[in-house]
Structure 1
Amino acid sequence: MPTRSKSPITTSHDVRRRLPKKRPPIHPGEMLLEEFLKPLRISQSELAVRLGVSFPRLNEIVRGRRSVTPDTALRLARVLGMSADFWLGLQQDWDLWHAMNGPGAEEISRLEPISSPE
């Protein structure tokens, strides 16, 4: 039977190094609004048409109520010139921060890591 690892959870340590500690990272929708829509003077309606998505879908992303999916990231990359990885990275940072600081974080911290038998 595997024994309990004595080392800290590497994934958590690596992630915490790049995420802010006291506040959530920027949501991709906020980035979209502040760094693209406003400076380009383009409405959410116009961008939704250019992306080939519904206005409610884009509006929910901008308001931080919907996640950027791989499909949306590819559309944003094509239309705005930033990579799909950029958009998905923002979303991943948002999701991880909330998972690490949300109601389930304490339960996750109590999970027992598996280590290789010695």
Structure 2
Amino acid sequence: MKSQKDSPPPHPGAILREKVLPGIGLTKSAVARRLQISRTLLYGLLGERYSVTPEMALKLSRLCRNRPEFWLNLQRDYDLWHAARSLEIKAREQHVDAGAAA
């Protein structure tokens, strides 16, 4: 069975896409206008291709009436999880390479 450490935390774009936008009742174009960003940027965030920056966190917090730290913490947790996995993979690869060289 997988532990929580085995599963990545949600990307902020996934939270926005799955939890927030359905309750807002606006089109994605209208949301982009309210956020004062391009639709391309919004779709990149929703598609989990872009990260939440401090400026974006401020914009999202105004739209959602929550704190910008909420969005930044989601992004931080997501980034840290992926960075830790990347380091683990590199460490395993180095261990295997060292074992093969011996």
What TM-score, normalized by structure 1, do the two folds share?
Answer: 0.70
- The letter of the residue matching 1:105 is E
Q: Which of 70, 76, 79 pairs up with 1:86? A: 70
Instruction: Kindly report which structure 2 residues correspond to 1:31-110, keeping only aligned pairs within 5 A, or say none.
Output: 31-102=15-86, 104-107=87-90
Report percent identity of matched pairs. Answer: 39
Deviation (angstroms), 1:31: 0.3
Work out the CA distance in 1 between the residues paired with 2:83 and 2:10.
15
Q: Could you list the per-position Cα deviations for residues 57-89 of structure 1 after superposition, in whole angstroms to 9, with x for gaps in the alignment?
A: 111011100000000000111121111000000
Q: Which has the higher helix share?
A: 2
Q: CA RMSD in A?
A: 2.0
What TM-score, normalized by structure 2, do the two folds share?
Answer: 0.80
Work out the CA distance in 2 between the residues paired with 1:40 and 1:77.
13
Deviates more, 1:38-47 or 1:62-71: 38-47
The 4+ residue runs of structure 1 with deviation greater than 3 A are: 104-110
Q: Secondary structure at the match of 1:21?
A: helix
Number of matched residues? Answer: 91
Q: Which has the higher contact order (CA 8 A, sep 6+)?
A: 1
